[in-house]
Amino acid sequence: MLLVVNNVQKLYKGLEGFVLMREKEKTSKKALKEKAYQLIKNRIIYCEMLPGDDISEEQLALELGTSRTPIREALLQLEKEHLVDIYPRKGTFVSQISLQDIYEIFQIRQIIECYAAKMVCKRISIEKLEQYREAFTHFDDDSDDYRDWMALDREFHTYIVENTQNKNLTQIFVNILDKHQRARYVLASRIPNRVKDSVNEHFKIIDALIEQDEQKIEEAVKLHINNSREGFLMLKGFFVN
């Protein structure tokens, strides 16, 4: 009887060890996929990979020191986000940006941001808004810190939407920002005075929020979004029809 009990205990420990090993393998695979996903996505949105560029699974696998499996899984996720196009037997390419995409993205942004800003104006932190104002003052058109500028701009707009406390709305908004982040980088670096003009537009949004004036909020948000859209349209050669 004792022998049977000992054998059962050994079997249980063996199974327990096997389960733990499989869980570690799953965690490791998930981490590799996430690493590949973030690497490729960042290269796309910061224009290190341009629209239409061929993406080499083999080269990325060598760079990350992994098999092609996490690379493929990452690319499938990016395809769902419309950042890459996968063609069987042809290859994987950075997706193009169309003028229609630009119009749709800014239409959605205007709907979401006008609604969110007016909704949260009575409860948003004035102290936090003043911190953003101070941060924006450090940027002008002589600065080449476009990544820092984009990060601050994205954080500011996302902060407003997050204050709606609507997680689904926030996720939709974040996905929209991801889709045109790469075009924003090109805009900031190629359009004269756009960063300086954008800073002033952000000041108007902050002022209107602090005043809790819904009409001024809507006007300031629309002005900023419309000017950003017009800036994009000046880069028509960067987009496909």
Q: Residue 59 above 60 pLDDT? A: yes
The Cα–Cα gap between 89 and 129 comes to 51
Cα distance from N-terminal residue to C-terminal residue, the chain: 79
pLDDT band at 157 (very low <50, low <70, confident <90, very high): very high
Q: Which residues have C-beta within 8 Å of that of residue 178, sequence separation ≥ 6?
A: 41, 45, 81, 83
Q: Residue 96 above 60 pLDDT? A: yes
What one-letter code names the amino acid at 126? I
What value does the mean pLDDT take over residues 148-175?
94
Helix axes of 214-233 and 99-120: crossing angle, nearest 10 degrees: 160
The Cα–Cα gap between 96 and 89 comes to 19
pLDDT at 111: 97
pLDDT at 236: 65
Do the domains 99-238 and 2-94 match in fold? no
Q: Residue 39 above 60 pLDDT? A: yes
The structure's pTM equals: 0.75
User: How do the domains of the chain map onto residue ranges?
Assistant: 2-94, 99-238
Tens of pLDDT, residues 181-234: 777 766 666 666 778 889 999 999 999 999 999 999 999 999 999 998 888 887
Fold of 99-238: Four Helix Bundle (Hemerythrin (Met), subunit A) (1.20.120)
**How far apart, in Å, are the Cα atoms of 219 and each of 113, 190, 222?**
11, 26, 5
Tens of pLDDT, residues 110-138: 999 999 999 999 999 999 999 999 999 98
Which CATH code fits 2-94? 1.10.10.10
